[in-house]
Amino acid sequence: MVIKKAIFAGGCFWGVEYYFSKEEGVVKAVSGFTGGRVKNPTYDDVCYKDTGHVEAVEVTYDSDLTNFEILAKLFFSIHDPTQVDRQGPDVGVQYASAVFYLDDEQKEIALRLIDELKDKGFDVVTKVRRAGVFYSADESHQKYYEKKDGKPYCHVFVKRF
């Protein structure tokens, strides 16, 4: 088993976490924040203050069972990568679409997939940024839909690849 990580931001982290947690090969999906300049931000900080952070999910996966490209394709299929700073009814800079790459291979794959989507006519706004510190959200934001026995309202799977 070779464990790797990936970080995706695609709107409200609850829906993103929901889909990744069900994906084969994913060991763990954690809701949190990244991309900003404030250390140890809280949910309220990110939602109501100018922290620069986005809601994101850190995905830990077994690379013997899945890979970054499969996960990135899922990411682009569970949120609308053409929406600027929003997903569905959730609006704000904290809901931006971004791939936070951990190495050059992840960067290259993300950029290639964006190019593929653009070739298909999608006006993709997803940013590709070097990963920085990922801050886990507090426990009340982890496995949200599992705890509520519900399904995401801002995220639906749309086959794009």
Distance of alpha carbon 119 from its chain centroid, rounded? 22
Are the beta carbons of 33 and 72 closer than 8 angstroms? no
Cα-flanking dihedrals φ and ψ of residue 92, to 5°? 150, 160
47 catalytic? Reply is no
85: left (phi over 0), alpha (psi -120 to 50) or beta: left
Torsional sign, CA 80, 81, 86, 90: positive
Question: Which one is catalytic: 9, 12, 56, 78?
Answer: 12
Active site (catalytic) residues: 12
